[in-house]
Chains A and B, each alone.
Chain A
Amino acid sequence: MTSAAHADTPQARLSALHRIWRNAPGFVGQLTAVNHTTVGLRFIFTGFAFLLVGGLLSMFIRLQLAWPGNQVLDPALYNQFVTMHGTTMMFLFAVPIMEGFAMYLIPKMLGTRDLPFPRASALGYWCYLFGGIFLYSSFLFGGAPDAGWFMYVPLSDSTYTPGLSADFWLIGVTFAEIAAVTAAVELIVAILITRAPGMGIQRMPLFAWYILVTAFMIAFGFPPLIMASVLLEIERAFGFAFFEVARGGDPLLWQHLFWLFGHPEVYIIFLPAAGVVSTLIPTFARRAAVGYTWIVLAIIATGFLSFGLWVHHMFAVGIPLLSLSFFSAASMMVAIPMGIQLFSWLATLWSGKPWIRVPMLYLIGFFFIFVLGGLTGVMLALVPFDWQVHDTHFVVAHLHYVIIGGLLFPLFAGLYYWLPLMSGRMPSESLSRTGFWLVFIGFNLTFLPMHLTGLLGLPRRVYTYSPELGVSWLNLLSTAAGFVLAVGIIAILIDVALCIRHGRRGPPNPWQAGSLEWAVPVPVPPYNFASIPTVASGYPLWDDAAVAARSADTDGLLADARDGRRELLGTGLLSAAPEQVIRISHSTWVPLLTALTIGALLACFIAKLYLLAALAVLPLLALVGTWLWTTGDRHAPAQVEVAPGVRLPTQASAPNAPGWWALVVSLLIDGSLFASLVFAYFYLWLGAPAWPPPSSEAGGWLIPAVAVALLVASEPAMRWALHSGDRGFPMRLRAGLLLAAVLGTAFLVLHGLALEATVGAPQTHAYASVVWTLAGFHGVHLLVGVLIAVFVWARSRAGYVDATRRLEPRIAAAYWRYAVAQGVIAWTVIHVFPRLAS
């Protein structure tokens, strides 16, 4: 479509935007869609489906516990249901649904049209869906995972859990977690560089702050679990030794890695929900949030402190008292930033004119329940108290007060609040209030008694109890109330479905909110804003009544889509001044095919068809290659006109390109993964009597030294390539890329030979396992670097890279530098450290 081919009227511009941004029609269109509105709603819908499945499991658990000696579930099935309930609620409901809300809302709140990596969001969704199905398919293959949602070793190792159930958990959950990782990259980059012009970070919506910090927490918090799952899976599949005491492993390593993820996870779930609270309270108090700066710094502080809590799940495992007290102190320290937020919310309500509508009702429920959960949390942070109630129903009560209070109630508040935006219709006040009271009363009557049963000694995760414990009636009450809670949740979902089908049509911005998502017309057009809005305050809709009208007009920023491409406006990190035009992908099959291929690979792996699994890497590489080759718009000019007389560079020639920031965030995630592995190395060393053990030997210096010299030499080669490209010498750029790749490969071969000669088979001892894993981890990174170098070489040959469009060589060089640094660290740990220590 060229500019000459259509008459340049507002109507023509709108229909051009529609044509460019809409999903393809029909079922095929659903499979290829990448738009954030579609993908976000899918996450939300699928999340609720898993909530129902996980809830159904909990109903069976409650029936079994209703009276001592019940026979609803046998002990084996009970263990499976408890494990799957926890796993589903954490990994398949809580985390993905919050990602869904963020994906749906963040671009609208920031005043942009889509997320910067729409295919990554679609891939994340498919991985989440397939991972969930993968996990549940274990019921068909001889039993679901049954070792608890935390999969403690040695219970989950191949001696005590033979069969495939633990493998289904490890592989399925890791598969589904791809969604969390892609969402983290996507949301960080979106929030940093696609905010509407004028939205400097001092007036960014609070919800965006919450999501930004949450996304960084995912980046640092999920890798330890991913690494732990990988280690346990290769221990189970190939007989490595990380957790097995007899071969120098340590089961506590699993607990450390798991809770290093597991505690931040609680805040990864809670912070977005608190973001919903911080968004709704100003709307319903009808005034700006009190203490914006304080809330922001409280979010940042919470994000950090939540990483200093992990051992408080391990108070009972026998760690020295002093070490425990560090975690106890940090656990109580979290109360300060949480208190700041709470008092800011109260102050906003106090000084405003509160308006009690259904979303606000859920927020009141949230305050009540979450404060109770927080208080029992402070009790549990005290080590002696924790020892008394560890592994009892007191902890069950606490965690449900925190998670249902902290997540589910704000979630329902948000659902009712944004329903008019998603559907154009208003929720009914009567049915939704009934749903609220059923959930509120049902919840409290289910979990309040558990504090008592726990204090009386009712253990968690045990399929029955003795009548002499004296908790039978309290359990019966919990079960009965549990059904009230379930009815309430179903009532809410029916209410929402009825509202979407038959609700009364609402006015635009029915709650008179101040944030930009309410400037989007309803029904939501696939491009959100015809013109990218410009903002001058933290609540643009309150301070400038014309924002909505201007952003629906077709004479503003990026309104003229003359090249037929999906375009976002990229703005400065802090200032939000316009900097670049980001061209993103149209609908495509690539994400679905990629997710299917990953699924096939993992299915082959779990079926122990390792050769087939290795072969599946080939189509995967082909798909990733296609993906990268078609990223952005390779034919884009160096500059584009975004409004009459305003020209901006396209992303390939912009310094703050989304691809660059994606690399930065990905390397943070990868660095965290690597750090987890190095932590595992030192943790195993600390507990070992001899390092290396007698089965391995130190070996000579010569070959490792030559290898690392080659690796280090590849870095200047890569830098020379980048500089040559910048100065307009494509031949030298390509030669440098290939030289670096050759040097890297030479390192891999030499280093592999050196290890082979000295370390011995990885199955002999934890030392050999962790050394090989460290070397292998780095080897994979170097191979990826080689592939990137070859890719950029091909791009340069095809003419898509030059001195102005230098994004791809920049990324290749930066990645290579990272891979070399990682290699030098791994090499030092493997070769230098044991000599120093002994």
Chain B
Amino acid sequence: MRGIGPHRLAGMAAPMAVWALHFVLVYSLAGLGCEEGWHLRPAAGLSLLKWALLLSTVFALALVGWLGMGAWRSARASAAPADALQRRHRFMARATTILSVLAAIAIVFTATPAAMLPSCT
């Protein structure tokens, strides 16, 4: 995909951008869901609001995981760089890999309270 690979500047920012989108999404869903009463409508053991928050989190984690795997593969491919181009690729791929891990931690961090706290008080 153009623009998202670990060899582009935007690619380095992509994992954290996913965190940001997830953050905005769960914050908006929490506000919207409470307003619309989703937290009072149970479906398969959880409220509709909790399902929405859970699904957004799973989706965001999958996306970050996909970005991180791609970057990791690229980092391993240029493990012993011979020239400036390969050194640059290794640097960008490594940074993207670790940023994906950080983004995943941040997403889990953001989502944990949703599992532990009541939704709308």
Residues of A within 8 A of B (CB): 192, 198, 200-202, 292-294, 296-297, 300-301, 303-305, 307-308, 320-323, 325-326, 328-330, 332-333, 336-337, 573-575, 686
Contact B109 A329, beta carbon cutoff 8 Å: yes
In the assembled complex, 22 residue pairs joining A and B whose CB atoms fall closer than 8 Å, in A order, are: A202-B87, A202-B88, A292-B91, A293-B95, A297-B98, A301-B99, A301-B106, A303-B16, A305-B16, A305-B106, A320-B30, A320-B34, A322-B117, A323-B30, A323-B31, A329-B110, A333-B105, A336-B105, A337-B102, A574-B92, A575-B88, A686-B31
Q: Give the CA-CA distance A301 to B109 in the complex, in Å.
A: 14
Which label, helix, strand, loop or mixed, suits the secondary structure of the A interface? helix
Known: A300-B16, A323-B27. A200 touches B88 (CB 8 A): yes
Known: A304-B16, A320-B120. A326 touches B87 (CB 8 A): no
Q: Give the CA-CA distance A56 to B47 in the complex, in Å.
A: 56
B19 at the interface (CB under 8 A from A): yes
Q: Give the CA-CA distance A573 to B9 in the complex, in Å.
A: 9
B106 in complex: contacting residue of A297, A322, A325, A330, CB < 8 Å: A330
B84 at the interface (CB under 8 A from A): yes
Residues of B within 8 A of A (CB): 7-9, 12-13, 16-17, 19-20, 23, 26-27, 30-32, 34-35, 84-85, 87-88, 90-92, 94-95, 98-99, 102-103, 105-106, 109-110, 112-114, 117-121
Contact A308 B35, beta carbon cutoff 8 Å: no
Chain B residues, CB < 8 A from A296? 91, 95
Chain A residues, CB < 8 A from B84? 198, 200, 202, 575
Chain A residues, CB < 8 A from B117? 321-322, 325
Chain B residues, CB < 8 A from A200? 84, 87-88
Chain B residues, CB < 8 A from A330? 23, 106, 109-110
State how many angstroms separate the Cβ of A578 from the closest Cβ of chain B.
14
A329 in complex: contacting residue of B35, B99, B113, CB < 8 Å: B113
Q: Give the CA-CA distance A573 to B8 in the complex, in Å.
A: 9
Chain B residues, CB < 8 A from A337? 102
State how many angstroms separate the Cβ of A677 from the closest Cβ of chain B.
16
Contact B106 A326, beta carbon cutoff 8 Å: no
Chain A residues, CB < 8 A from B31? 320, 323, 686
Chain B residues, CB < 8 A from A336? 102, 105
State how many angstroms separate the Cβ of A381 from the closest Cβ of chain B.
12
Chain A residues, CB < 8 A from B114? 322, 325-326
Q: Give the CA-CA distance A322 to B85 in the complex, in Å.
A: 46
Q: Give the CA-CA distance A304 to B23 in the complex, in Å.
A: 11
Question: Residue among A293, A336, A575 with the most chain B CB within 10 A?
Answer: A293
Q: Give the CA-CA distance A292 to B34 in the complex, in Å.
A: 44
B16 in complex: contacting residue of A198, A201, A301, A575, CB < 8 Å: A301
State how many angstroms separate the Cβ of B46 from the closest Cβ of chain A.
14
Q: Give the CA-CA distance A547 to B1 in the complex, in Å.
A: 40
By beta carbon, the residue of chain A nearest B106 is A333
Contact A308 B102, beta carbon cutoff 8 Å: no
Contact B95 A322, beta carbon cutoff 8 Å: no
Contact A293 B91, beta carbon cutoff 8 Å: yes
State how many angstroms separate the Cβ of B8 from the closest Cβ of chain A.
8
Contact B88 A333, beta carbon cutoff 8 Å: no
Chain A residues, CB < 8 A from B87? 200, 202
Contact B110 A326, beta carbon cutoff 8 Å: yes
Chain B residues, CB < 8 A from A305? 16, 19, 106
Contact A294 B98, beta carbon cutoff 8 Å: yes
Known: A322-B120, A336-B102. A686 touches B35 (CB 8 A): yes
A293-B95, A320-B30, A329-B110 known, 19 other contacts, Cβ within 8 Å: A202-B87, A202-B88, A202-B91, A300-B99, A301-B102, A303-B16, A304-B20, A320-B31, A321-B118, A322-B118, A323-B27, A323-B30, A323-B31, A326-B110, A326-B114, A329-B112, A330-B23, A336-B105, A574-B88
State how many angstroms separate the Cβ of B47 from the closest Cβ of chain A.
12
Q: Give the CA-CA distance A575 to B99 in the complex, in Å.
A: 22
Q: Give the CA-CA distance A492 to B87 in the complex, in Å.
A: 43
By beta carbon, the residue of chain A nearest B81 is A202
Chain B residues, CB < 8 A from A192? 9
Chain A residues, CB < 8 A from B32? 686
Chain B residues, CB < 8 A from A301? 16, 99, 102-103, 106
Known: A202-B87, A330-B106, A330-B110. A308 touches B120 (CB 8 A): no
Contact A326 B26, beta carbon cutoff 8 Å: yes
State how many angstroms separate the Cβ of B24 from the closest Cβ of chain A.
9
Q: Give the CA-CA distance A321 to B27 in the complex, in Å.
A: 11
Known: A297-B102, A304-B16, A304-B17. A202 touches B92 (CB 8 A): yes
State how many angstroms separate the Cβ of B84 from the closest Cβ of chain A.
6
Contact A333 B9, beta carbon cutoff 8 Å: no
Closest 6 CB pairs of A and B: A325-B113, A202-B91, A304-B16, A202-B88, A297-B95, A329-B109
State how many angstroms separate the Cβ of B75 from the closest Cβ of chain A.
10
Q: Give the CA-CA distance A575 to B117 in the complex, in Å.
A: 48
Q: Give the CA-CA distance A188 to B73 in the complex, in Å.
A: 30
Contact B95 A308, beta carbon cutoff 8 Å: no
State how many angstroms separate the Cβ of B21 from the closest Cβ of chain A.
11
State how many angstroms separate the Cβ of A630 from the closest Cβ of chain B.
31
By beta carbon, the residue of chain B nearest A304 is B16
Chain A residues, CB < 8 A from B119? 320, 322
Chain A residues, CB < 8 A from B106? 301, 305, 330, 333
Contact B30 A326, beta carbon cutoff 8 Å: yes
A320 in complex: contacting residue of B90, B102, B110, B121, CB < 8 Å: B121
Chain B residues, CB < 8 A from A304? 13, 16-17, 19-20
State how many angstroms separate the Cβ of B112 from the closest Cβ of chain A.
7
Chain B residues, CB < 8 A from A198? 84
Chain A residues, CB < 8 A from B105? 333, 336
By beta carbon, the residue of chain A nearest B27 is A326
Question: Residue among A307, A320, A332, A573 with the most chain B CB within 10 A?
Answer: A320
Q: Give the CA-CA distance A57 to B10 in the complex, in Å.
A: 44
Chain A residues, CB < 8 A from B19? 304-305, 308
Chain B residues, CB < 8 A from A686? 31-32, 35
Q: Give the CA-CA distance A303 to B12 in the complex, in Å.
A: 13
Chain A residues, CB < 8 A from B85? 575
Q: Give the CA-CA distance A333 to B90 in the complex, in Å.
A: 26
State how many angstroms separate the Cβ of A333 from the closest Cβ of chain B.
5
Contact A308 B110, beta carbon cutoff 8 Å: yes
Chain A residues, CB < 8 A from B118? 321-322
Q: Give the CA-CA distance A304 to B107 in the complex, in Å.
A: 12
State how many angstroms separate the Cβ of B91 from the closest Cβ of chain A.
4
State how many angstroms separate the Cβ of B89 from the closest Cβ of chain A.
9
Q: Give the CA-CA distance A202 to B81 in the complex, in Å.
A: 12
Question: Residue among A292, A297, A300, A332 with the most chain B CB within 10 A?
Answer: A297
Known: A323-B27, A337-B102. A201 touches B121 (CB 8 A): no
Chain B residues, CB < 8 A from A307? 20
Chain B residues, CB < 8 A from A292? 91
Contact A293 B94, beta carbon cutoff 8 Å: yes
State how many angstroms separate the Cβ of B116 from the closest Cβ of chain A.
8
Chain A residues, CB < 8 A from B98? 293-294, 297
Chain A residues, CB < 8 A from B34? 320
Q: Give the CA-CA distance A202 to B99 in the complex, in Å.
A: 16
Q: Give the CA-CA distance A752 to B44 in the complex, in Å.
A: 49
State how many angstroms separate the Cβ of B10 from the closest Cβ of chain A.
11
Q: Give the CA-CA distance A232 to B94 in the complex, in Å.
A: 45
Contact B12 A300, beta carbon cutoff 8 Å: yes
Q: Give the CA-CA distance A308 to B94 in the complex, in Å.
A: 25
Contact A321 B121, beta carbon cutoff 8 Å: yes
